[in-house]
Amino acid sequence: MQWLQRYGWEILPHPAHSPDLAPSDFHLFGPLKRHLGGMAFETEDDLISELRKWFDNLDVDFFRVGIDSLLSR
């Protein structure tokens, strides 16, 4: 911190959370990342096909649960 101050850099406080994160960062991408983990795709079409399958097989309440959980965040 002394080095930064010596060169006149302003040190900003770091927020407890990042307000720039979208709700999808909490509920959508975690499960999607776990699903795709370890998979390899030869073409972009293969990836798109797998994504479509994953979205088609989501539980009916998946997005409702995610939206409801925003209240606690």
Using 70 as the pLDDT threshold, list the residues of the chain that sit under it. Answer: 14-24, 71-73
SS3 12: coil
pLDDT at 66: 84
pLDDT at 49: 97
Look up the pTM and report it.
0.61
pLDDT at 55: 94
